[in-house]
C-alpha cells in the first residue's frame, strides 16, 4: 500500500473520530444515565444537549453545561441524603458495638446475681435448713437490691441492703442456732416474741453478733458493684452520644461544597472522574468540623470505659465479690456460734428477754456444731457456667472499643477513602480536571477551618457543642468519683503510639499519649444515696472515701473452693 493511501486512511479516521467526539460533546446522555442510576431525580429535568445560557448557582461554568437549576437542587438533596447515610453507616458499627456489649455486660451481671442468690440459698437449704423458710424472703430482697444497684435504677445503697439482710438474719441465728430453745417464743405470735425479734433487729449493729463479716461483705460488694454500675451508666452515655451525632445536620455551605465536589463535573459530561483526595478531605473536614470537636472528650471517654471494664472483670473482681457472699454469710454465722455465750449475755442486757424465758432452756444449749457442706455443692447450683464469662466480654470489648478512640477525628478520611477520594492520574478539583490538588490542606476542628479554601464554617453546631461539653463534664465527674479512671491509655494498647488525628496545633487537637499513673479507687460510703451518673444533668452524688480494702478470709476461701471445683475463672 502506498504512503498516499495510508495518509488518506489516517485522515479519514481522524475526521470520523472528531465527528464522534463532537457529537458526544453535544449530548447529555451519560449525565442522564448517571442521574437515573444514582436516583437523583426525574429524567425529564436533564437536557438532551448542553446549553450555554443556564443560570446556575453552584456549578457555574463559562462553557456549555448539561445541568439546570432544577438539577442543582436535586444534586443538593442527593448529597445531603447520601452523606448523612454514609455517616450513619459508619456510626452504626460503633453504636452497635456499645449497645451489644452493654447488653452483654448487663446480662452477665444479672446471671451472676442469680447464681450468687442460688448459691446462698443452697447454704441454708443444706446447712441451716431450720432458717430457710424465714430467711428466704430476705435473700430475695438482698439480691433484688443488688440487681437494682447494678442496673443503676432507683436510689439503692449496697451497704443498706447488706445491713438489712444481717439485721433480719440475727434474730433467726440467735434463737434457732445459738439458743435453739428460744425459737418457740419467736415463732409464737406473742408480744414477747415480737419485742425480742424487733430488739435484735434494731440492735444488731451495736451487739455485733457477726463480727467484721457484714462490714467486709458490704465493702467488697460496694467497690465491685459500683464499678459495674458506673460502667452500665457510662455505656448508656455512649449510646446517647451516638444517637445525637448521627443525626447532626449539614450546613448549607457544606451541601454546596459537596455538590461542587461530587456533581459539578457531571455538568461537563465528566461522570466517572472522582474528587482529588486532598480536595475531598478539605470539604469533609469543613462539613464535619463541629463533629471533629468531639475527638478529645470521646478519646478520654473510651479510656474511661476500658478502665471501668477492667475494674469490673480484672482479676474477676465482680465475680469474686458476688461469689463471696455465701462464704461471708457462713463465716458470720459460725462467728455467732463460736461467741454464743458472750452474745447471749449481751442480748440479755440489751433486750432483757432471757429473764422472761424458761431458765431450763436459756443458756443450757451449747453452740450447735455445723457440718460443712459437701465440696461439690456449687456444681449443682444453676448458672455455674456463667463464671468466667465476664472476663471474656471484657477482653472482647476493650479490644474492639480501642479501635474507635479516634472515630470522630478520622471520620472525614474514612468517608473520603471509602466513597470519594481516589488517587488517579487525574482528578476533579471542584473547578477543573487536574493532575493533583494544590490548595492548602486544613486540619480537623472548627478553628482550623478558618483557612479552608472549600467550605466556609460560619459557626459551630450548638447541639454538638452541647454534647461535647456534657461529655467533658461526664469524664471529669467520673474521675472525681473514681480517681485514676480515664487518666491513662487503655489496658490493651498502652504505648501503641496511636495518633490523635491529622490536626494543626491551632485546632485544639492535642495528643493524648501520656500515661498517667493509676490511683486505686477509694471506697465510698454506700449507705448514702447511690451514685447517679446522668448524661442529661451530668450529676454524680459523691460519697465519703476511706481506705482501700483487701480480700477477706471468706473471699480467699471462695477462691480456693472455686479452684478446687475447677470453675473457669481464668
Is 31 part of any domain?
no
Adjacent-strand bridge partners of 524: 545
Alpha carbons 304 and 300: distance in angstroms, whole number: 6
Is 40 part of any domain?
no
pLDDT at 62: 81
pLDDT at 126: 94
pLDDT at 467: 95
pLDDT at 419: 56
Q: How confident is the model at residue 386 (pLDDT cuts 50, 70, 90)?
A: low
Is 429 or 186 the better-scoring residue by pLDDT? Answer: 429
pLDDT at 193: 53
Is 157 part of any domain?
yes
**How large is the average pLDDT for residues 18-47?**
75
Q: Give the model confidence (pLDDT) of 422-461 as tens digits.
A: 556 889 999 999 998 999 999 999 999 999 999 999 889 9
Q: Which domain holds residue 503?
A: 79-510+525-564
Inform me whether the pLDDT recorded for 152 exceeds 80: yes
Percent of the chain with pLDDT over 70: 71
Is 343 part of any domain?
yes
pLDDT at 423: 55
Q: Judge contact between 443 and 436, C-beta under 8 A.
A: no
In three-state secondary structure terms, 510 is coil
pLDDT at 184: 52
Alpha carbons 399 and 167: distance in angstroms, whole number: 44
Is 310 or 541 the better-scoring residue by pLDDT? Answer: 310
Query: CA geometry: angle at 392 spanning 112 and 379, to 5°?
Result: 45
pLDDT at 536: 44
- Nearest Cα residue to 531 out of 224, 155, 235: 155
Q: How confident is the model at residue 420 (pLDDT cuts 50, 70, 90)?
A: low
Q: Give the three cell numbers for residue 277.
A: 483526595
Alpha carbons 534 and 316: distance in angstroms, whole number: 27
Inform me whether the pLDDT recorded for 481 exceeds 60: yes
Q: Judge contact between 27 and 48, C-beta under 8 A.
A: yes
Q: Give the three cell numbers for residue 386.
A: 456463667
pLDDT at 539: 34
Q: Where would I find the H helices in 152-276?
A: 158-173, 183-187, 191-207, 213-245, 252-262
Quote the strand ranges of 300-437, DSSP E: 427-428, 433-434
**How large is the average pLDDT for residues 502-517?**
35
Relative to beta strand 433-434, strand 427-428 is antiparallel
Q: How confident is the model at residue 180 (pLDDT cuts 50, 70, 90)?
A: confident
- Nearest Cα residue to 277 out of 420, 414, 411: 420
Sign of the C-alpha dihedral computed for residues 457, 463, 468 and 469 taken in this order: positive
- Nearest Cα residue to 147 out of 273, 245, 232, 83: 232
Is 35 part of any domain?
no
Alpha carbons 304 and 465: distance in angstroms, whole number: 21
Lowest mean pLDDT among 231-245, 415-429, 450-464: 415-429
- Nearest Cα residue to 303 out of 516, 47, 89, 4: 516
Inform me whether the pLDDT recorded for 522 exceeds 50: no
Is 414 part of any domain?
yes
Other beta carbons within 10 angstroms of residue 76's beta carbon come to 18
Highest mean pLDDT of the ranges 112-121, 362-371, 484-493, 495-504:
112-121
Highest mean pLDDT of the ranges 30-39, 51-60, 481-490:
30-39
**How many domains are there within the chain?**
1
Q: Give the model confidence (pLDDT) of 80-126 as tens digits.
A: 999 999 999 999 999 999 999 999 999 999 999 999 999 999 999 99
pLDDT at 11: 45
Alpha carbons 44 and 39: distance in angstroms, whole number: 13
Is 407 part of any domain?
yes
Percent of the chain with pLDDT over 90: 51
In three-state secondary structure terms, 434 is strand
pLDDT at 183: 56
**Which residue in the block uniquely carries the three cell numbers 464535619?**
288
- Nearest Cα residue to 109 out of 224, 191, 25, 22: 224
Q: Give the three cell numbers for residue 370.
A: 455445723
Q: Which helix (H) or strand (E) holds 545?
A: strand 545-546
51: phi then psi, degrees, rounded to nearest 5: -120, 160
Lowest mean pLDDT among 35-49, 189-203, 289-303: 189-203
Inform me whether the pLDDT recorded for 358 exceeds 60: no
Q: Give the three cell numbers for residue 266.
A: 457531571
Lowest mean pLDDT among 71-75, 137-141, 245-249, 461-465: 245-249
Lowest mean pLDDT among 113-127, 177-191, 555-569: 555-569
Is 55 part of any domain?
no
- Nearest Cα residue to 287 out of 407, 440, 458, 472: 458
Inform me whether the pLDDT recorded for 562 exceeds 60: no
**How large is the average pLDDT for residues 472-481?**
92
Q: How confident is the model at residue 140 (pLDDT cuts 50, 70, 90)?
A: very high
Inform me whether the pLDDT recorded for 220 exceeds 80: yes
Alpha carbons 325 and 267: distance in angstroms, whole number: 73
Q: Say how many CA atoms lie within 13 Å of 233 toward its Cβ.
A: 29
Amino acid at each position: 500500500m502506498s504512503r498516499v493511501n495510508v495518509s488518506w486512511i489516517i485522515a479519514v479516521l481522524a475526521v470520523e473520530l472528531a465527528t464522534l467526539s463532537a457529537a458526544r460533546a453535544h449530548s447529555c446522555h451519560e449525565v442522564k444515565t448517571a442521574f437515573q442510576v444514582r436516583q437523583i431525580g426525574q429524567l425529564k429535568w436533564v437536557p438532551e444537549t448542553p446549553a450555554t445560557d443556564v443560570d446556575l448557582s453552584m456549578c457555574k461554568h463559562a462553557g456549555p453545561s448539561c445541568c439546570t437549576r432544577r438539577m442543582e437542587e436535586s444534586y443538593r438533596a442527593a448529597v445531603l441524603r447520601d452523606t448523612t447515610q454514609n455517616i450513619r453507616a459508619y456510626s452504626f458499627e460503633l453504636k452497635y458495638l456499645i449497645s451489644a456489649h452493654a447488653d452483654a455486660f448487663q446480662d452477665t451481671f444479672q446471671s451472676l446475681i442469680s447464681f450468687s442468690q442460688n448459691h446462698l440459698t443452697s447454704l441454708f437449704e443444706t446447712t441451716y435448713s431450720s432458717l430457710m423458710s424465714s430467711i428466704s424472703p430476705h435473700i430475695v430482697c438482698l439480691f433484688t437490691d443488688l440487681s437494682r444497684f447494678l442496673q443503676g435504677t432507683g436510689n439503692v445503697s449496697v451497704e443498706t441492703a447488706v445491713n438489712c439482710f444481717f439485721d433480719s438474719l440475727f434474730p433467726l441465728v440467735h434463737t434457732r442456732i445459738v439458743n435453739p430453745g428460744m425459737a418457740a417464743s419467736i415463732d409464737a405470735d406473742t408480744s414477747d416474741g415480737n419485742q425480742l425479734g424487733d430488739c435484735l433487729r434494731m440492735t444488731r449493729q451495736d451487739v455485733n453478733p457477726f463480727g467484721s463479716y457484714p462490714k467486709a461483705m458490704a465493702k467488697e460488694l460496694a467497690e465491685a458493684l459500683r464499678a459495674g454500675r458506673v460502667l452500665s451508666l457510662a455505656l448508656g452515655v455512649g449510646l446517647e452520644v451516638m444517637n445525637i451525632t448521627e443525626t447532626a445536620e449539614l450546613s448549607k455551605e457544606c451541601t454546596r461544597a459537596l455538590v461542587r465536589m461530587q456533581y459539578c463535573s457531571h455538568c461537563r459530561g465528566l461522570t466517572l472522574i472522582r474528587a482529588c483526595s486532598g480536595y475531598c478531605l478539605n470539604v469533609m473536614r469543613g462539613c464535619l468540623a463541629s463533629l471533629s470537636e468531639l475527638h478529645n472528650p470521646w478519646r478520654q471517654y473510651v479510656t474511661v470505659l476500658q478502665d471501668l471494664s477492667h475494674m469490673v472483670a480484672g482479676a474477676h473482681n465482680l465475680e469474686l465479690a458476688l461469689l463471696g457472699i455465701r462464704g461471708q454469710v457462713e463465716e458470720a454465722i459460725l462467728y455467732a456460734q463460736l461467741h454464743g455465750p458472750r452474745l447471749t449475755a449481751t442480748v440479755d442486757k440489751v433486750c432483757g428477754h432471757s429473764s422472761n424465758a424458761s431458765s431450763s432452756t436459756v443458756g443450757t444449749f451449747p453452740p450447735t456444731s455445723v457440718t460443712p457442706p459437701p465440696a461439690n455443692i456449687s456444681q449443682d447450683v444453676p448458672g455455674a457456667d456463667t463464671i468466667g464469662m465476664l472476663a471474656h466480654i471484657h477482653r472482647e470489648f476493650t479490644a474492639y472499643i480501642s479501635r474507635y478512640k479516634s472515630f470522630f477525628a478520622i471520620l472525614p478520611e474514612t468517608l473520603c477513602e471509602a466513597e470519594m477520594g481516589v488517587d488517579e492520574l487525574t482528578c476533579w478539583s471542584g473547578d477543573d480536571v487536574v493532575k493533583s490538588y494544590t490548595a492548602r490542606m486544613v486540619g480537623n476542628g472548627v478553628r482550623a477551618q478558618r483557612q479552608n479554601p472549600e467550605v466556609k464554617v460560619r459557626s459551630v453546631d450548638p447541639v454538638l457543642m452541647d454534647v461535647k461539653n456534657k461529655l467533658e463534664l461526664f469524664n471529669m465527674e467520673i474521675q472525681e468519683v473514681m480517681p485514676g479512671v480515664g487518666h491513662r491509655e487503655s489496658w490493651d494498647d498502652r504505648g501503641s503510639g496511636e495518633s490523635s488525628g491529622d490536626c494543626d496545633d491551632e485546632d485544639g487537637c492535642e495528643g493524648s499519649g501520656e500515661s498517667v499513673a493509676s490511683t486505686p479507687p477509694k471506697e465510698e460510703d454506700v449507705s448514702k444515696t447511690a451514685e447517679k451518673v446522668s448524661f442529661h444533668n451530668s450529676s454524680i452524688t459523691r460519697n465519703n472515701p476511706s481506705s482501700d480494702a483487701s480480700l477477706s478470709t471468706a473471699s480467699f476461701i471462695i477462691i480456693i473452693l472455686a479452684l478446687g471445683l475447677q470453675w473457669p475463672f481464668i
